[in-house]
Structure 1
Amino acid sequence: MFNIILLGITSLLTDISSEMVYPLLPIFLTTRLGATPLVVGTIEGIAESLASLLKVFSGYFSDRAKCRKPFAIAGYSASTVGKIFLYTASSWPVVLAGRVADRFGKGIRTAPRDALIAESSSEGARGRAFGLHRTMDTLGAAIGVLLAYCFITRAHVDFHQIFLYSLVPAFLGVVALFFVREKGVVRERENKPSLNWNALDSRLKTFLILMFVFTLGNSSNQFLLLKAGNVGFDAKTILLLYLTYNLVYNVASYPAGAISDRIGRKAMIVAGYLVYGLVYFGFAMASTPASIWVLFAAYGLYMAFTEGVEKAFISDIAPENLRGTMIGLHATLVGIGLLPASLIAGALWNAFGASAPFYFGGFMGILAAAGIWLLI
């Protein structure tokens, strides 16, 4: 539990930093730097996909090196550097560089950190462990959004100043990570990690394939923020929308993990993707501020039902000496799919209007729920 709490504190501080910045980026890009929705989608797609290529490798090398902590420290440090690029940005390519650095860090840290969480908890309590981590992570996100709102409503604070302030919690998050204690990892030297796809559990293989297909309809959250702007929300109220999403995500994460420990991961994950599909269909049809508020709250439920529970599911069925590799492979497949997903969403928006990418995403969400229920 000591490690889980410390890793939660690190994520809390890092998310304070990230969420002071993230919900403002589409507004900053489109209103200050003149970027189009397609450029916004391209930036997010490139950043997430390039970084995600690292996730399977960082997981594999942390399995092979029998240590997780150095990878996590390096990753959180790189994300801190990414905020410096945002502070200096005067054109969208510099924002792209900042997002790549930030996601590069996430790519290095995610699988080793999640493997640390799995190794610091028993199988029967793993859903709660990941749920607690998600709860602390999203609490940081909510605090970050609140801070961004407080700063942006002040007359003499601009985007660049907020980007500068975000460096403080990012640095403190890296410091907290140094106190994490490595847990024992499988030590058999003759059993070095070797990724043999055919030897993996059939449920794991099917799940990974389904997640990759679903991701093609799961574009960047930036499009949700753009949709809110399309309906009439300004930068200040968009921050409050994003805060609502994070609060629901925060409150529901631990109960969702605990419930998955009792009823099984599959049922909770299926429920999550059904919620996703319905929420995206709702975004496609939304035309009033009231409906946008409800949809952002419901989107928080989807995240709570799936984010931590999926990691617990993979940790349960992956070979122990490949746990970091499998968590990383899942993150890599999802991240690789985000580039075409965001490009598709941006192209659909430009060609057919704001509703088109959400109809497509809603269909893919329902398809994912059906696939998981029937095939796993």
Structure 2
Amino acid sequence: MREADASDGQAGGKALPLEVKAWGVASFFSDLSHEAVTCVMPALLIGLGAGPVSLGVIEGLSDALASVAKFLGGKSADTFRRLKPWVVGGYLLTSLAMPAVAWAKSWGWILGLRGAAWIGRGFRSPMRDTLLARTIPKGLEGRAFGLERAMDQSGALLAPLVAAALLFWGWSVHRIIVLTLLPGLVCVGVVAFFVKEHPRPRRSFDSESRAPVSKVFRHYLFALGVFGSGDFAKILLVLWALGPEASEGAPLATFGRAALLYAFFNLVTVASAYIGGLVSDAKGRKPILVTAYGLGALGALVPVLASPGWVTGAFALFLSGCLVGTEESVERAWAADLAGDRHGHAFGWMHTVNGMGDLIASATVGWLWETTSAEIAFGAAAALMGLGALLTATVPERSRAISPQ
């Protein structure tokens, strides 16, 4: 433990490499692009005559496709020597497919394009995390992943603000979606020209690197999977907050206010992503992540206990924002702690489990909402999230300064 303390103390005085910041800039523009589409998705779907179940299926199946791509991307990250071309390709696919949603004539076309975008996003995610992990000084994992996630969520914060402003100024939903092509291409350029390749050494292709992941890591994945089965897409909370206002003939100003609500959610995630990652470097991953999971479960309970509205919606999204920002940075940092040298494999499994959980959660909440009630749908999600938090509390936490055995 003295070694761990000394390592953490030395790390505290180090600055993050510029390349970590470049990854943050890329994530900012990537999220600015696809989150702008996501925040106007309810308006687009309502205009096509679709409802909560369609939104849940789109979110859930897209995440399921992404989870398969993440698994393959994770395995590839531990076998391919050069990852950067694949990461650039993944960002490019997402940047092209999401703006194409503007020309969709049915929600099925939206599902197909969103699925294609999420395949690109999924395949490059564990590779990006692997390249990022290779640049981080020992003991700064939480801070580095926290910064990258905070920049990512900053893009997600700006996206609905821009979308809301354009809606209030009279822009159509379709025109806003087409505009998202520009930040997407900027993201591709940043990765292509400002991020370095970090080839995997040939010596790492030995039998040890192909050994199965540890029992502790499997325990960690199981807990994440249970929690993720209730961790639905938070855009569903925005749709719930609209209440009776969510109708096909609703004015654009209504969806502008909904975009502002989504921006508030993303503002909370920005702060929680960096703070959560930073604090987890000092206090440990488990207490921070379990606390965030508990707040997320409470956020899911708000629709069970309160009526839809802007205030109750904002409260639910505040709690959910604390969850999403923290989990995205701390889950990655904890996976890196437990992965040893197999970052790609570990990130691939983590992203896959989270993606399958997203499929189950979002599709189930959407289906239960339409077939029963919002109270039952969100109540079931809250129960699974609470159970996942309890299971996560039982995962052993290893010292970040000592390689796992």
Identity %: 30
8 Å CA contact 2:361–2:381 kept in 1: the answer is no
One-letter amino acid of the counterpart of residue 172, structure 2: D
Q: Map residues 3-18 of structure 1 onto 2, 5 A cutoff.
A: 3-18=19-34
Partner of 1:203: 216
8 Å CA contact 1:126–1:312 kept in 2: the answer is yes
8 Å CA contact 2:224–2:392 kept in 1: the answer is no
- Structure-2-length-normalised TM-score: 0.87
One-letter amino acid of the counterpart of residue 91, structure 2: Y
Summarize deviations over 1:25-78 as a string: whole Å, max 9, x none.
12210x211112112211221111012101121121122112221121011001
8 Å CA contact 2:36–2:159 kept in 1: the answer is yes
Q: Which runs of 5+ in 2 are unaligned?
A: 1-16, 247-253, 397-405
Partner of 2:188: 174
Partner of 1:319: 340
- Measure the CA separation in 2 of the matches of 1:309 and 1:231: 37
Alignment partner of 1:26 out of 25, 42, 59: 42
Partner of 1:148: 163
Residue 248 of structure 1 and its aligned partner are, at CA, apart by 1.2
Residue 202 of structure 1 and its aligned partner are, at CA, apart by 2.1
Q: 1:78 to 1:193 in 2, by over 3 A?
A: farther
- Measure the CA separation in 2 of the matches of 1:358 and 1:367: 14
- Residue 365 (structure 1) aligned with residue 385 (structure 2): yes
Partner of 2:112: 97
- Structure-1-length-normalised TM-score: 0.94
- Measure the CA separation in 2 of the matches of 1:13 and 1:152: 20
Partner of 1:248: 268
One-letter amino acid of the counterpart of residue 28, structure 1: L
Partner of 2:323: 302
Residue 261 of structure 1 and its aligned partner are, at CA, apart by 0.3
8 Å CA contact 2:34–2:95 kept in 1: the answer is no
Q: Map residues 111-260 of structure 1 onto 2, 5 A cutoff.
A: 111-155=126-170, 157-178=171-192, 179-183=194-198, 185-188=200-203, 190-191=205-206, 196-197=211-212, 200-230=213-243, 232=245, 234-260=254-280
Q: 1:189 to 1:307 in 2, by over 3 A?
A: closer
RMSD between aligned residues: 1.7
Summarize deviations over 1:183-210 as a string: whole Å, max 9, x none.
353431551686554xx22221111012
- Measure the CA separation in 1 of the matches of 2:210 and 2:238: 38
8 Å CA contact 1:59–1:325 kept in 2: the answer is yes
- Measure the CA separation in 2 of the matches of 1:330 and 1:188: 25
One-letter amino acid of the counterpart of residue 241, structure 2: A
One-letter amino acid of the counterpart of residue 372, structure 1: T
- Residue 2 (structure 1) aligned with residue 23 (structure 2): no
- Residue 285 (structure 1) aligned with residue 308 (structure 2): no
- Aligned to 1:64, the other structure's residue is in SS state coil
- Measure the CA separation in 2 of the matches of 1:201 and 1:187: 23
- Measure the CA separation in 1 of the matches of 2:207 and 2:383: 41
Q: 1:259 to 1:161 in 2, by over 3 A?
A: same
Q: Which runs of 5+ in 1 are unaligned?
A: none
8 Å CA contact 1:63–1:193 kept in 2: the answer is no
Partner of 2:4: none
One-letter amino acid of the counterpart of residue 94, structure 2: S
Partner of 1:87: 102
Residue 252 of structure 1 and its aligned partner are, at CA, apart by 2.4
Partner of 1:346: 366
Summarize deviations over 1:294-318 as a string: whole Å, max 9, x none.
2212211111221111101001111
Partner of 1:48: 63
One-letter amino acid of the counterpart of residue 261, structure 2: L
- Measure the CA separation in 1 of the matches of 2:240 and 2:143: 33
